[in-house]
Amino acid sequence: MVFLFHYLSVLNIFDGFVTYYGLENRFITEMNPLMNSLYEANPWLFIFTKIAFSACLYLFIIFKMVPSSRLTKGLTVFASSFYTLIFFLHCYWLFELI
């Protein structure tokens, strides 16, 4: 579980910068309404929020409070898998357009 929290945290930061690059250059659009609102309000707020989400995951690791219930494991595996797909889609779209 700790590995997946590390993985999600790092992936979130990388995806944040890839998405930021794509949004700034108008290669992609943000489909998440919350993140789109943050980006439209201020692109740096978008980046800060992504970093803050990752920091929250690291707080679980630092304080050795990573949940280990079956539900949490299932959700974390699902989130990791789904987010990996989203990240690769973002990368594919960007490299296809460049």
Structural domain boundaries enclosing 85: 2-97
The helix or strand, by DSSP H or E, that contains position 36, with its residue range, turns out to be helix 33-41
Question: How confident is the model over 23-80, as pLDDT tens digits?
Answer: 998 888 899 999 999 999 999 999 999 999 999 999 999 999 999 899 999 999 999 9
CA angle, residues 3, 4, 8, in degrees to nearest 5: 120
Q: What is the distance in angstroms between the CA of the first residue and the CA of the last residue of the chain?
A: 36
Distance between CA atoms of residues 37 and 43, nearest Å: 10
Report pTM.
Answer: 0.85
Distance between CA atoms of residues 24 and 26, nearest Å: 5
Helix, strand, coil abundance in the chain, percent, nearest 5: 80, 0, 20
Task: Report the pLDDT value the prediction gives residue 37, as an integer from 0 to 100.
Answer: 97
Tokens of 1: 């579980």
Count: domains in the chain: 1
Residues 70-97 have a mean pLDDT of 88
